[in-house]
Amino acid sequence: MIQIRRILCPTDFSPTAGRASHYAAELARAFGAEVLLLHVVPEMNYPQRSLGMVTAFPNLREELHQRAKNELDRQRQQLDPALAIRTELRDGPPHEQILACAEANQADLIVLGTHGHTGLKHVLLGSTAERIVRLSTCPVMTVRTPA
């Protein structure tokens, strides 16, 4: 029998990610598993010539972290309070940090939203979900919000 003890649910706080977190919660309820909500703050690379931007927002990273923590707490509160739900915040390239978090926490399943971009939009924006599906060592469930 398949055992799922820990479900990693990355979120970018979009409606699609919110939908994925509800799937993760339902699966956690069915399997008696823990949910780990993860948000990754992407690296911010400033243009060298625009140092004025860096000094204009000296606490930008701290502000992003605080807002992300607040949003993770809000999202956790929207899910079933009877579930075991943890949150984690990481910095770096999203797909790398999601995979590292899954490995470090021994996730049995990753449930994540996908925006379903195709064509030029997919080429320009890339696809974190696609990278996770290709590179994950554990099963991945993708959830797409209907158009």
Is residue 110 domain-resident?
no
- pLDDT one-digit tens code per residue, 112-121: 998 755 554 4
12 burial level (CB within 10 Å; 0-12, 13-18, 19+): middle
HSE-up (13 A, CA, CB side) for residue 88: 18
In a domain, 126, yes or no: yes
Q: Is residue 127 part of a domain?
A: yes
71 falls within a domain: no
Domain holding 124, by residue range, is 95-103+117-138
- Neighbouring residues of 94: CB distance < 8 A, sequence distance ≥ 6: 10, 12, 40, 42, 128
Q: Does residue 124 sit in helix, strand or coil? A: helix
pLDDT tens profile 20-40: 999 999 999 999 999 999 999
pTM: 0.86
**The two structure tokens encoding residue 144:** 């797409």
User: Has residue 29 been placed in a domain?
Assistant: no
Count of structural domains, the chain: 1
